[in-house]
């Protein structure tokens, strides 16, 4: 049976993607090197939302996860820079 031509295809649900991004963000706060992974994942999911591939619900969680990833990555990079400068 073929679908009716006037029906739009359903977009995938957002909840698993938001949950994964938030989990990575929480892990990034505890282990800063994971921040870049959280940053990348949340950013790629936000790009998919902007392209219309995914529903927009959960965008706040993705923005929060991306912000946590940015903060954790910045903290990790700052710590490494200060450690290198301290040794010099």
- For 66, phi and psi rounded to 5 degrees? -65, -40
Q: What is the domain count for the chain?
A: 1
Q: What is the pLDDT of residue 32?
A: 82
Q: What is the longest distance spanned by two Cα atoms in the chain? A: 71
Structural domain range at position 71: 15-87
Q: Is residue 5 part of a domain?
A: no
Residue listed under structure tokens 């010099």:
88
What would the mean pLDDT of 19-38 be, rounded to a whole number? 87
Q: What is the pLDDT of residue 17?
A: 79
Q: Is residue 4 part of a domain?
A: no
Q: What is the pLDDT of residues 45-71, one digit of tens each?
A: 999 889 888 888 888 999 999 999 999
Q: What is the pLDDT of residue 7?
A: 59
Q: Is residue 2 part of a domain?
A: no
């Amino acid at each position: 049976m073929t679908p009716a031509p006037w029906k739009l295809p359903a977009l995938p649900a957002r909840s698993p993607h938001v949950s994964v991004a938030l989990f990575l963000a929480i892990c990034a706060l505890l282990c800063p090197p994971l921040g870049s992974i959280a940053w990348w994942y949340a950013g790629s999911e936000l790009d998919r939302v902007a392209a219309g591939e995914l529903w927009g619900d959960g965008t706040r969680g993705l923005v929060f996860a991306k912000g946590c990833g940015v903060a954790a990555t910045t903290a990790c990079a700052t710590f490494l820079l200060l450690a290198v400068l301290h040794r010099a």
